Structure 1
Amino acid sequence: MPIEVNGNSIETDEEGYLVNLSDWSEDVANEIAKGENVDMTENHWEVVNFLRSYYDEYQIAPAVRVLTKAIGKQLGEEKGNSKYLYELFPYGPAKQACKIAGLPKPTGCV
């Protein structure tokens, strides 16, 4: 089921994840976020950009436990905890943030 972004049709799978990771842009992220009822703030972008860098380096979308630890290391303890991440992404920090970041569904997510 495709989403429309700037007059372009972007292909997504049945769960809303991008079929082609190269289709991602900030506009696409904002459109996905809108569909997820997430108002993107600087804090959301910080996590999304972190995830994209992580994926570039490891070629895998991290599960929530790995994500929490890695964010804590890079962005500080106050951001590297489940409570903070669930406030930003209530439907699951790894699952929802990866979708907005244009990454595949993390392994271990149902």
Structure 2
Amino acid sequence: MKKDIAGFSVDVTEEGYLVSGAQWNKDIAEAIAKELGLGDLTPGHWKIIEFLQKDFAETGKIPTIRRVNKVGNIGTQELYALFPEGPLLKATKVAGLSKPVSCV
């Protein structure tokens, strides 16, 4: 289905995840973050977003929280502080990736 985010018409799933990462940009990320109640994205947020995108591009899979910890060198507490209440769900949505299969 179509949704207008930050002035861009994008395709999203029923849960609001972008269908195509090619439609993602930083304005869309900022708008999704605000929609999720995260406020303005900080350098800490961007570090996580960039790791998720890079890891997905290399592996073709959404990384697990464990992989974010081990490979991304991002602690669980930091992840939860920046993306509270479902950090991987929120972080992947902001990063323009699909919903992680490990999350319900």
TM-score with structure 2 setting the length: 0.89
Letter paired with 2:90? Q
Aligned residue for 1:71, secondary structure, equals: coil
Which residue, 90, 94, 100 being the options, matches 2:94? 100
User: Percentage identity across aligned positions?
Assistant: 39
**C-alpha root-mean-square deviation of aligned residues, in Å?**
1.5
Where in structure 2 are there 5+ consecutive unaligned residues? none
Show the counterpart of 1:46. 47
Show the counterpart of 2:57. 56
Letter paired with 2:87? P
Aligned mates of 1:14, 1:52 — CA distance in 2: 22
Which 4+ residue blocks in structure 1 deviate beyond 4 angstroms?
none
Aligned mates of 2:2, 2:69 — CA distance in 1: 30
Distance 1:66 1:6, change over 3 A: closer
Q: Deviations over 1:38-91 (max 9, x none)?
A: 12101101110111101110011112122122221xxxxxxx221111000002
Show the counterpart of 2:9. 9
Aligned residues: 103
Letter paired with 1:70? V
Aligned: 1:84 with 2:78 = yes
